[in-house]
Structure 1
Amino acid sequence: MGTFNTSFEDGFILVGFSDWPQLEPILFVFILIFYSLTLFGNTIIIALSWLDLRLHTPMYFFLSHLSLLDLCFTTSTVPQLLINLCGVDHTITGGGCVAQLFIYLAVGSTECVLLVVMAFDRYAAVCRPLHYMAIMHPCLCQTLAVASWGVGFVNSLIQTGLAMALPLCSHQLNHFFCEMPVFLKLACADTEGTEAKTFVARVIIVVVPVALILGSYVHIARAVLRVKSMAGRRKAFGTCGCHLLVSFFMARPFTPISNPSTIILRVRENLLPFFIQVITPILNPLIYTLRNKDVKGALWKVLWRGRDSG
């Protein structure tokens, strides 16, 4: 590591996929399509959750928050990536990098906590069906949603502060967005203390939620196995599997990355976050809601209402 010292005020160069310039036009079109679909799909879910009274339930309340988080999550990095892919200037200002890091961490952390809340909601619906509405009272739902956002933003504020305090030896990031592990690799000073603090944060934000989600679904699975209807079992297990899959993908942004010293490592460490940032946000509406009969009915109701008024 060199002795050159830089800071967030100097701005950064996002190397990203510049080592493969022939792929940049293809990636630009691919990302633009998926980003547009993400904006469209998640915006529809949020709008329908507000417009249709049949969707004014705890499950769809949390799903609308999940869609909002997906919009913020992908928008925190994808527009800058599109700008870099279509031009020769791959720089990002220091303020832009801080904002990107803060929003990325805040939204990702919030989504991890919200997935726990959604698991609790499904536990109450499956294991305590007679008391479901009493348990998932609107006040409790709002409190859980606000708490999820609060925990996410506090975690992001702490980690962003730790990143900004690091003395950096380079302003060149071997990544396509500003991510905490990248700054740890560029630090000129000893990062053992900072890495220990970020490890604790990852345990709180990732390991604890995953354990709570798994625990909830163990109880759900036991309840489902007592259901005599095979169709009911398949539907319940399908929802559980999708939720666990999304939970696994959301844990990836908070795992450490190795220093990319080879082409293989560079591909791996760019493509995995690329998948999380670009593809996962459009999978969530497909997994959770757009395949749901209630959402489809609400969508057709809104479309026919607009057609009749026109």
Structure 2
Amino acid sequence: MQDVGENETEVTEFILVGWSNRPKARMGLMVLFIVSYAVILVGNGLIIVVVINDSRLHSPMYFFLCNLSIIDLCFSSTGIPQSIVNCLVDRPVMSLPLCYSQILLGLLFGTCECLLLAVMAYDRYVAISNPLRYTLIMNRNICITFAAMTWTTAFMVTIVPCLVKPARFCGKNEVDHLVCEFKAVFKLLCTDTSSDILGMFFTSTFTLVFPLIFIVFSYIRILVAIMRMHSDSEGGRMKAFSTCGSHLAVVVMYYGSCMASYLTPQSKETHLGDKIIFVFYAIATPMFNPLIYTLRNQEVMGSLKRLVSGKK
């Protein structure tokens, strides 16, 4: 703590008290974090290696899937390792720069995933509704442009506003969470937060609601295109349903938990439900993404088997 005024003390570190009085719960969470993080590293790492290694997977869909795995790896790495360390201490302490960096990186990668899922929905729409011109429309330059726009937009709506208007904390420094989660730390701002809450609502709407509306619209068009397929193309219809079903499962899981967390009314206290929701979208989504995409995808499974067996 540093004195900044007669009755004010500037916060230089945070004490994470979310599970202070629950040693058994912390030990259970630590085991969950370790196992989940191992699955995340192995699953997403294998997807990246397989896509890069197999030239048959050098298509737009797998390019974006590889990007999704990179984002999941980065997103989970911002919080899970620190959470494992925090489980070992009754009242873990994090410095303000470390805590602030964890918040910004979590927002950046989380927003990237929201936008990338919308791009992946557009990719599936083009592939199914216009298959003959798919490789022409979704060419290499377009794919790279979409990926770059995803990262740039996420950076502009998360990192830039925080750098332009740095957060100021004074007084309380106890965070009711296991990590420096945005909503939990946001409650400790010592300035008027009414404008910040309004800005957070509009940012969440832009990064969650608008992409979700676009995804729903894209899948309505995809469903219409699948229904118009000739009856003799039943195999292609089932493959389209399988691919789109995998993507929809990820969308429902990720957007549902994020909207439950960031579009619900703010409260002065962090409830147990908020912590459970955080664990769900920070751990479950990156962990299940590789399983959802690989177990339902014969091309990825075939490439993975060839990679393991050493066959070309």
Both structures adopt the same fold (TM-score exceeding 0.5): yes
Matched residue type, 1:125: A
After TM superposition, which residue ranges in structure 1, 4 or more long, deviate above 4 angstroms? 229-235
Structure 1 residue 133 and structure 2 residue 135: aligned? yes
Match of 2:292 among 287, 292, 298: 287
Match of 1:216 among 191, 215, 218: 218
> Could you report, residue by residue, the CA deviation over 1:43-100 in whole angstroms, capped at 9, with x for unpaired residues?
0000111000111010000000000000011111001100011233511111211111
Q: CA deviation at 1:124?
A: 0.5
Please tell me the root mean square deviation across aligned C-alpha atoms, in Å: 2.2
> Could you report, residue by residue, the CA deviation over 1:153-178 in whole angstroms, capped at 9, with x for unpaired residues?
12221353377323444111112222
Q: Residues 260 and 269 of structure 1 are in contact (CA less than 8 Å); yes or no, is this contact kept in structure 2?
A: no
Match of 1:34 among 36, 40, 46: 36
The 3-state SS of whatever aligns with 1:13 is: strand
The 3-state SS of whatever aligns with 1:77 is: helix
Q: Residues 49 and 60 of structure 1 are in contact (CA less than 8 Å); yes or no, is this contact kept in structure 2?
A: yes
Q: CA deviation at 1:211?
A: 1.0
Unaligned runs of 5+ in 2: 1-6
Once residues 180 and 158 of structure 1 are traced to their aligned partners in structure 2, the CA distance between those partners, rounded to angstroms, is 16
Correspondences of 1:192-203 after superposition (within 5 Å) = 192-203=194-205
Q: Residues 77 and 177 of structure 1 are in contact (CA less than 8 Å); yes or no, is this contact kept in structure 2?
A: yes
CA 1:209–1:146 in 2, change beyond 3 Å: closer, same or farther? same
Once residues 41 and 205 of structure 2 are traced to their aligned partners in structure 1, the CA distance between those partners, rounded to angstroms, is 31
- Alignment correspondent of 2:247: 243
Unaligned runs of 5+ in 1: none
CA 1:164–1:173 in 2, change beyond 3 Å: closer, same or farther? farther
- TM-score normalised according to structure 2 size: 0.88
Q: CA deviation at 1:232?
A: 4.6
Q: Residues 20 and 91 of structure 2 are in contact (CA less than 8 Å); yes or no, is this contact kept in structure 1?
A: no
Q: CA deviation at 1:240?
A: 3.1
Structure 1 residue 157 and structure 2 residue 121: aligned? no
Q: Residues 12 and 171 of structure 1 are in contact (CA less than 8 Å); yes or no, is this contact kept in structure 2?
A: yes
Once residues 23 and 163 of structure 1 are traced to their aligned partners in structure 2, the CA distance between those partners, rounded to angstroms, is 37
- TM-score normalised according to structure 1 size: 0.89
CA 1:69–1:232 in 2, change beyond 3 Å: closer, same or farther? same
Q: Residues 42 and 285 of structure 1 are in contact (CA less than 8 Å); yes or no, is this contact kept in structure 2?
A: yes
The 3-state SS of whatever aligns with 1:86 is: coil
Once residues 226 and 86 of structure 2 are traced to their aligned partners in structure 1, the CA distance between those partners, rounded to angstroms, is 48
Once residues 225 and 29 of structure 2 are traced to their aligned partners in structure 1, the CA distance between those partners, rounded to angstroms, is 45
Q: Residues 6 and 167 of structure 1 are in contact (CA less than 8 Å); yes or no, is this contact kept in structure 2?
A: yes
> Could you report, residue by residue, the CA deviation over 1:238-268 in whole angstroms, capped at 9, with x for unpaired residues?
443442342244331643564364xxx6220
Q: Residues 115 and 247 of structure 1 are in contact (CA less than 8 Å); yes or no, is this contact kept in structure 2?
A: yes
Once residues 224 and 5 of structure 1 are traced to their aligned partners in structure 2, the CA distance between those partners, rounded to angstroms, is 62
CA 1:137–1:19 in 2, change beyond 3 Å: closer, same or farther? same
- Alignment correspondent of 1:186: 188
Once residues 227 and 171 of structure 2 are traced to their aligned partners in structure 1, the CA distance between those partners, rounded to angstroms, is 56
Once residues 91 and 198 of structure 1 are traced to their aligned partners in structure 2, the CA distance between those partners, rounded to angstroms, is 26
Once residues 245 and 160 of structure 1 are traced to their aligned partners in structure 2, the CA distance between those partners, rounded to angstroms, is 32
- Alignment correspondent of 1:6: 10
Matched residue type, 1:141: C
Q: Residues 48 and 66 of structure 2 are in contact (CA less than 8 Å); yes or no, is this contact kept in structure 1?
A: yes
Matched residue type, 1:304: S
